[in-house]
Amino acid sequence: MAAKAVPQPFIDWLHAELDKRGWSYREAARKAGLSHGSLSQVVNGRRPGLTVCLALSKTFDYPLGQVLWLAGYIEQPQNRDPLIDELVHVAHPLSPKLKRALIQIARSMEEE
């Protein structure tokens, strides 16, 4: 039985995350604790396994659920807004003070 192909959203996400960091595939695999071959298979069209998804989620500090959705393992809820997901991802590493400031900004925009 042939392996499932990697979904395009996953490849796009992987490329974007590597570009943001200036990492090669080999460097990303090393940082994620993966073999170069396992990441190379993904780049060449094989859907990533759950171990690869978990490792990349941790390495890129990205929500595991989002990585699993990008890899085609789970469906995105119908009412899910990708812009909200991106905002949560951007806000996640911020300090509590900056998170509160971001909430204040959003609330002031809501009032307009």
Per residue of the chain (112 residues), what is the pLDDT tens digit? 455 777 778 888 899 899 999 999 999 999 999 998 998 888 888 899 999 999 999 999 888 888 998 898 988 766 677 777 778 778 877 888 998 898 899 888 877 6
How confident is the model at residue 112, as a pLDDT? 67
Domain(s) labelled CATH 1.10.260.40 in the chain stretch across 1-76
pTM comes to: 0.67
Q: Which residue has the tokens 């929500």?
A: 63
Q: What is the pLDDT of residue 79?
A: 66
Q: What's the pLDDT score for residue 2? A: 53
CA torsion sign for 16, 20, 23, 29 is: negative
Report whether CATH 1.10.260.40 matches the domain 1-76: yes
